[in-house]
Amino acid sequence: MSVVRAILFDLDGTLVQTREASWRIFAKTNAVLALGINTQAEFFRLLEDNMFHGLRKHCGDDRRASEAAKHFLDLLQREYNPEFVPGMADVVRAFAGSCSLAVISSNSVATIRRILDRENLTHCFSHVFGGDVEQDKRACVRRFLSDRSYLVNRNCSPAYREGHEPAAPSADQIVLITDTVGDVRHAVECGIRAIGVAWGMHTENQLLDAGAEFVAVWPQELVARLLPGGFASSCSIAPTAEPGSAAAAGCSCGCQDNDLSRAAAARKQRRMGATAALDQRMSGGIERPNDEKEISSPAIGSGVDKLLLASLRRLKTGSRPTLR
């Protein structure tokens, strides 16, 4: 199997929990426009095709279907705030360091942005296609297949990688991850790989029958299936952000970019300096500092973390801190 170079995530039911949330909102559209889609099961059947196509088939009238789609998208933008599927944020971070990520969804771009901002995942994704930009997900897939620049990654920062000129992808290097039969069928039609998730709109058997190569029961199975080496081989949890670093600017994806690496190296140097200074004082018979003023003395070295030095002193002497 070829190395995966782009992963296209459906949003609703795949990244976020939506079985109840989306139906409650669609029920309002149904009531206002009298669409005759009166049960959750009937709503899910719309998604056996693209949702917009399903509405057109159900309404038999493009004008009425467009009115329903607009009403639903407007409600989603105002009222929809579903929780992420537990574990899926870590899955996104795991993939973000190794390939280009995109969201392709029937939801609006503004709604997707709000949800990703809330989870601090916005800059993990190189592209977002909402239903207000492109209603047919096959068109989004074909952009990735025809334009190699869509494979340029962001490395979990606002900027795209400069100077990166990826080779043209093959179809088996692009994966769509989704919870709906319609998405799986469209991925298969375009020739790319389709992987289902069992916690969304449609069942494991439905997704497999539609052509999914695999259906994940747990989010971590996606990493096991697509990322050799698992979580540790790509993004890791970021250290505490230093001022001016990518993490301090809002990157919480954990990618070890140059700024974070330099910050970690600086912290290590400070720790080593504090230890060396303390060793020098103790080996030379110099009396240990008794108060905070001496701890910060220039004789020990400028920039030494006071709390760190005090902790090292206690470790060296075997003393315990006094509880106050």
User: What is the domain class of 6-14+83-233 according to CATH?
Assistant: alpha beta
Residues comprising the chain, all counted: 324
- pLDDT for 266 equals 52
User: Residue 179 forms beta bridges with which residues?
Assistant: none
- Give the chain's radius of gyration (CA, Å): 26
DSSP three-state, residue 127 = strand
Task: Band the pLDDT of 318: cuts 50, 70, 90.
Answer: low
Average pLDDT for 56-84: 86
What is the share, in percent, of the chain residues with pLDDT greater than 90? Answer: 40
For range 299-316, the mean pLDDT: 53
pLDDT, mean of residues 184-199: 96
- Would you list the domain boundaries of the chain? 6-14+83-233, 19-79, 258-317
User: Which residues neighbour 86 within 8 Å (Cβ) at sequence distance 6 or greater?
Assistant: 219
* CA atoms of 90 and 133, how far apart (whole Å): 27
Grade residue 232 by pLDDT with cuts at 50, 70 and 90.
low
pLDDT (0 to 100) of residue 181: 93
Range 151-178 average pLDDT: 89
Q: 44-58, 73-87, 151-165: which has the minimum mean pLDDT?
A: 44-58
**Token representation of residue 142:** 């074909």
Assign 231 a pLDDT band (cuts: 50, 70, 90). low
Among candidate residues 72, 56, 57, the one with its CA nearest the CA of residue 130: 72
Angle at 214 between CA 254 and CA 43, to 5 degrees: 90
Q: What CA–CA distance (Å, rounded) separates 277 from 45?
A: 70
- Residue that the structure tokens 């303390």 belong to: 278
pLDDT at 265 over 60: no
Q: How many CA atoms, within 13 angstroms, populate the side-chain half-sphere of residue 256?
A: 12
DSSP letters, 266-305, are: HHHHHHHHHHHHHHHHHHTTPPPP-SHHHHT-TTT-TT--
Structure confidence at residue 238 (pLDDT): 39
When pLDDT is cut at 50, 70 and 90, the band that residue 97 belongs to is confident
Q: What is the pLDDT of residue 91?
A: 95
Say which residues have a Cβ less than 8 Å from residue 163's Cβ, sequence separation at least 6: none
pLDDT value at residue 95: 93
Q: In what order do the strands lie in the sheet with 174-178?
A: 127-129, 100-104, 6-9, 174-178, 193-197, 214-216
Percent of the chain with pLDDT over 70: 70
Q: 2 pLDDT band (50/70/90 cuts)? A: confident
Closest CA to 126 of 252, 227, 8, 257: 8
Band of residue 240 on the pLDDT scale cut at 50, 70, 90: very low
- Packing angle between helix 306-317 and helix 258-283, nearest 10 degrees? 50
Kindly tell me if the per-residue pLDDT of 111 is higher than 60: yes
